[in-house]
Amino acid sequence: MRKAKWVAAAAGVVLLVAGCGSEGGSEKGGSSSAGSTATGGSGSSGGAGGSSDEKVDAASVTKELTDAATGAGFTQDASGEQIPAELKNCMVSWTADAEKAADPKKSYDGTVATLTGGGWKESRSNEMNGSVIKSLAKGSWQLQASNHSQGPVKMVMFVAADNSPECAAAIAADNAKTKQP
């Protein structure tokens, strides 16, 4: 159950970041921790998430993440976060086995570079105490790429959520369910 709560918390972060700054703001706010994200909450406008003609779904996000991360030297941690069945079309979670990577920072940077080369747009980057969290967008999808491999506990995780109204409602409903005492 601990993992389900972590995924729900990560989904909440994705939605929080995806929802921030949707009333205008600059798309160039990229590296400022107080800047706005580049995508708004109303899916069809495209925002900085790429072409609205491009179909992005959970299967394509999973494939892109897997190809980018494994190509950069990561293996997937089989005990990583599991997405609830009712959210499988709205969320993707890919946890790297950072302990097995030769250089987790280099593999993280390589994964992000491959994703941005493949059409994902970086909208925000935050670095604190050796941890890095980058927000990327493609279509209606928001991706949080987290690298916490500098300390004693090494964790690299990629969590993506579809920001479409249907998925936002499904994720909010699931988060409300997991907050029950």
pLDDT at 37: 31
- The neighbour count for residue 105, using CB atoms within 10 Å, is 15
Write the pLDDT tens digit of every residue in 19-71.
Answer: 333 333 333 333 333 333 333 333 333 333 444 446 799 999 999 999 999 99
Do residues 4 and 161 touch, judged by C-beta distance below 8 A?
A: no
- Residue 73's region, left for phi above 0, alpha for psi from -120 to 50, else beta, is left
Do residues 162 and 89 touch, judged by C-beta distance below 8 A?
A: yes
Q: Does the pTM of the predicted model rise above 0.75?
A: no
Alpha helix segments (H runs only) across 72-164: 104-117
- Could you tell me if residue 39 is inside a domain? no
- Could you tell me if residue 33 is inside a domain? no
pLDDT at 152: 83
- Could you tell me if residue 28 is inside a domain? no
- Could you tell me if residue 34 is inside a domain? no
- Could you tell me if residue 142 is inside a domain? yes
Write the pLDDT tens digit of every residue in 98-130.
Answer: 989 999 999 999 999 999 999 999 999 999 988
What whole-number distance in Å separates Cα of residue 76 and Cα of residue 69? 8
Q: At CA 61, angle to CA 57 and CA 66, rounded to 5?
A: 150
Query: Tokens standing for 146?
Result: 């987290």
Average pLDDT over residues 4-11: 42
The mean pLDDT of the chain is: 76
What whole-number distance in Å separates Cα of residue 157 and Cα of residue 81? 9
- Could you tell me if residue 29 is inside a domain? no
From the list 63, 66, 61, 68, the residue with the least C-alpha distance to 76 is 66
Domains in the chain: how many in total?
Answer: 1
Q: Please, is 6 exposed, middle or buried when counting C-beta atoms within 10 Å of its C-beta (0-12, 13-18, 19+)?
A: middle
Q: Residue 168 is which amino acid?
A: A
- Could you tell me if residue 106 is inside a domain? yes
pLDDT at 8: 41
- Could you tell me if residue 27 is inside a domain? no
Read out DSSP for 6-23? HHHHHHHHHHHHHHTT-S
